[in-house]
Amino acid sequence: MKIAVLGTGMVGQAVAGGLTRVGHQVVIGTRDPQATLARTDTDGMGNPPFSAWHAEHGDVELATYADAASGADLVVLAGNGFAALDMVTAAGADNLAGKVLVDISNPLDFSAGFPPSLFVKDTDSLGEQIQRAFPDVRVVKSLNTLTAPLMVDPRLLGESTTVFVSGDDADAKATVTDLLTSLGHDDVIDLGGIETARGTEMLLPLWLRTMGALGTGMFNVKVVR
């Protein structure tokens, strides 16, 4: 497929690289491609600028959000949760209409420090907010319960683990499940409608504290049944 990945950070880079590895044509979307490539500073976690990654992944095109989305068969939202709605808006409702949007963002609020809280929870979710704002887009929440490298290569853990999909469109969820399987995920649970994204988003407080206890994000849950 032609896949647009919206977001140039660590998650967007990992997802774009993984999707390219399994044979997809990938374009990364950003607000201003020239400004993105011109940055030379590291991010808040000390990761090198996007230009360093892009220099090693010349087969991945960089474009505006709108241009990336317009030519894509499927779109992955891989940005900061606070910016998620703005990013989808910039991609353009017309460019996204009828397409599958895989939302892997989380509503993390770092305003009070670490660990973050959630700026939406319990009675709503970021996935639902995106679906309401863009009713013609087929939103599927998935992969938001994993650290970036495991999203695209779960075999790094050496054993089977579980990922989830949430969404209102059965065909969209089937498409995403096939994509997940191609990346190596062998246990995908369909939780139901997009409202079930509340559950996976609310896993993040537990995930973050587990990361703190283990000293690494290289882990995942397994639903044993």
pLDDT at 19: 97
Q: What is the mean pLDDT of the chain?
A: 96
Neighbours of 3 (CB within 10 A): 22
In whole angstroms, give the CA distance from residue 45 to residue 110. 14
SS3 state at 116: coil
220 CB-contact burial (10 Å; exposed 0-12 / middle 13-18 / buried 19+): buried
Please tell me the predicted confidence (pLDDT) of residue 40: 86
Is residue 54 scored above 90 in pLDDT? yes
Instruction: Give tens-digit pLDDT for 112-136.
Output: 998 999 999 999 999 999 999 999 9
Q: Record the pTM.
A: 0.96
